[in-house]
Amino acid sequence: MVADSMLRYRVPVHVFALALIAVACRPPSESLDDRVRYVTTLPVFASILGPIVGDVGSVHVLLDDARSPHDYLPRPSDVRQIAAARVLVLGHPELDGWAESFGATDFFYLSDLVESEDLPRRTGLETTHTFENPHFWLDPVIVSLLVGHVAARLCGSVEEECREFQDNAKAFAGRMDSLTATIRELISPLKGKYFVTVEPFFDFYFRRFGLNTAGTLQPFHGRRPTPASIVAVLKTEPLERALAIVTEMNRSDELAKMFAAESGLPIIYLDPLGKPGDTYTRLMLKNTRALSELGLVAR
């Protein structure tokens, strides 16, 4: 399964070759920020990695302009950043496995550091095919447990800076405990309520904070749902109690609008990837408040 996913998201060879040529041909005066030693794919991963790295170095994000990791094509600057990186930090093979094509000498997946029982597999509406949901970072409890393992992994690559990684991770985990309590309070009016999701990107968040899914319109990214699968969601009993349709910001909302027209449900746009400069806390609270405003109406 993972191998198939990597093939699906692998950067085309000719694109990668052109990027390498551009790197080789850059003017001698063009240089990288000497501090950039850690590279990751998404702003949300930088919001986790950055506080652990701290003052040791800086974190460069490949997709820093709201692009989807599924639609990514490399720029010459990305190849240069990875070539200069001390460590490349990826999320999950289903999400950004294509980045292995860059040939980084030291890389790891955050998902490999998460306990396997926290990465449930999901069954689609019309198939028994299952896959690991890669959006684990939308559960702050998982992130709180994850950061210590990230620090340990960085220590294995940069031993001389290990103590700072460990201290920073401990402080970050403490902030996650406070964030989790805040989210529980804000989201409490919605506990037990139902939502229709376009894709299962917020399943971890829903599970942690007691929200329910009445149905998922597109369980597998890149596979458009069939009329039969849409009808299956329309006929589910919890749909009568659903408050809204949840879809991802910065992605096409065509499917969400179509289902909204049929069901009469409002659409909520959430951001699972973050924006450059977002802290993890800011991102999670932004999404929570978007949901909690609906909770005030639901009362």
Splitting the chain (299 residues) into consecutive groups of 10 residues, what average pLDDT does each group show? 40 45 42 65 96 92 75 77 88 88 88 77 45 87 96 91 96 97 96 92 95 85 72 78 90 88 91 93 97 65
Run of H or E residues at 288: helix 280-298
Domains and CATH numbers, the chain: 2-134 (3.40.50), 189-298 (3.40.50.1980)
The whole-number pLDDT of residue 148 equals 96
Q: Which two tokens stand for residue 15?
A: 């694109």
The whole-number pLDDT of residue 158 equals 84
The whole-number pLDDT of residue 299 equals 40
Neighbours of 115 (CB within 10 A): 11
In the 8-state DSSP scheme, what is residue 210?
A: T
Three-state DSSP class for residue 113: helix
Pairwise CA distance, residues 236 & 267, whole Å = 18
Neighbours of 2 (CB within 10 A): 13
- 191: region left, alpha or beta (phi > 0 left; psi from -120 to 50 alpha): beta
Q: Which two tokens stand for residue 30?
A: 């063009």
Q: What is the CA radius of gyration of the chain?
A: 20
Q: Which two tokens stand for residue 298?
A: 């639901």
The whole-number pLDDT of residue 9 equals 42
Pairwise CA distance, residues 95 & 99, whole Å = 10
The whole-number pLDDT of residue 111 equals 93
**pTM as predicted:** 0.82
Pairwise CA distance, residues 39 & 88, whole Å = 5
Pairwise CA distance, residues 46 & 64, whole Å = 10
The whole-number pLDDT of residue 11 equals 47
User: Directed axis angle between helix 43-53 and helix 280-298, to 10°?
Assistant: 130
CB 43 within 8 A of CB 275: yes
Q: Which two tokens stand for residue 199?
A: 């894709």
The whole-number pLDDT of residue 110 equals 95
